[in-house]
Amino acid sequence: MKNNYTRDDIKRIAENENVRYIRLQFTDILGTIKNVEVPIRQLDKALDGEMMFDGSSIEGFVRIEESDMYLKPDLETWSIFPWTAGKGKVARLICDIYTVDGEPFEGDPRSNLKRVLKEMEEMGYSAFNLGPEPEFFLFKLDENGHPTTELNDQGGYFDLAPTDLGENCRRDIVLELEDMGFEIEASHHEVAEGQHEIDFKYEDAISACDNIQTFKLIVKTVARKHNLHATFMPKPLFGINGSGMHFNVSLFRGEENAFYDENDSFGLSQEMRHFMGGILKHARGFTAVCNPIVNSYKRLVPGYEAPSYIAWSGKNRSPLLRIPSSRKLSTRAEIRSVDPAANPYLALAVILKSGLDGIKKKTGLPEPVNVNLYEMTREEREALGVQDLPSTLYTALKALKEDEVVQDALGPHIMRQFYNNKTVEWDMYRARVSEWELEQYLNQY
């Protein structure tokens, strides 16, 4: 969805399309989209990267005494929101955050991913591509416009209307996405009632993460127009599948997919095997980043198609890592643990860094596990050397604290802020008395 816009292109389009406001967007450490909206008369200043904002007001950025920060837009991300019209349209530019000294801000997730990509380039690779598969639920709103947990349909995997009552909303989402330049590959109802998936074409790492953030914004905006609430919460309902955001990744050297080897029995290069070995080695360490909220771990349980165990396969969908059957330029690894609550820039940074570490250290890849891991006993899994993923945010944070490679992928600033924020989140959760406890214990004790 890249556009090779120049400064003059943007100014001409803004005038021709009657753009009245510009949203300068960025993402905080928790993955929340933020924006500073300015009138069109500030366009020159915005394009010059001279728009300032108060970084101390953003979660995990800076202290109040060092709050001034600059928004430097990526001109290739210029886009007009198709749902805005009336007295004037609204356009957006996605920005990197810079300090007053003119340096990339180390707490900016987008700039941090660029730092890890630079390390990749120094190793001789030209691109790291990502094809995400984000899932979401649609719930009804109450009479006051507040979200409920009442589902909008009783559809199942690939169902059609009238069972899939979310079909019209999903179609409108696709139309808006296409107007924004997305190349949609598939749109369908997912396994759980009220659950949907829209897949769009892979892009380079930065563009793909930008697309995920734009996708979330559009899904929520269009759902509201249908009197629905779209949520990317990983496990909003007990007893049904949660929402994942599988990451399909591939590493390129020039025009060649570095993951493919036509002489290998699996069609996989040694570099890919080492990359996958690095993913499996650091999986426990990066889980807190790829599954960043307390609720994430309600999804990562056996029996609901989400991975609970650290293994790989070319066929089996129960392990963490799956290798889809496509080869040549489409050879890729699918990391199935990532969920849509993750900050995509941070999740991709830790995955890339883990894989690169595997290549550097020539990390070995264990044999594939082609049986259903959910049906195996702990002893059977241990005999195969299969570890469990962390089962709570607390254990995931412990694993993060023990993995220096993943910490380095975040950088000291983001690591410190992320860890502290998530520790507070866990402490708040563990102190809260749940409905389950009341149901189980109130009468018994």
Query: What amino acid positions are annotated as catalytic residues?
Result: 54, 133, 135, 190, 197, 246, 317, 334, 336
DSSP 399-423: HHHT-HHHHHHHHHHHHHHHHHHHH
Helices (H), 147-302: 167-179, 205-225, 270-290, 296-299
CA distance 410 to 107: 9
The DSSP secondary-structure symbol of 215 reads: H
Q: Which of 89, 304, 98 is nearest to 180 (CA)?
A: 89
The DSSP secondary-structure symbol of 342 reads: S
Q: Encode 292-318: b = buried (16+ Cβ within 10 Å), e = exposed.
A: bbbbbbbbbeeebbbbbbbbbbeeeeb
Q: Which of 12, 175, 36, 138 is nearest to 94 (CA)?
A: 36
Phi, psi of 45 (to 5 degrees): -65, -40
* Alpha-carbon torsion angle 4, 8, 10, 11, nearest 10: 180
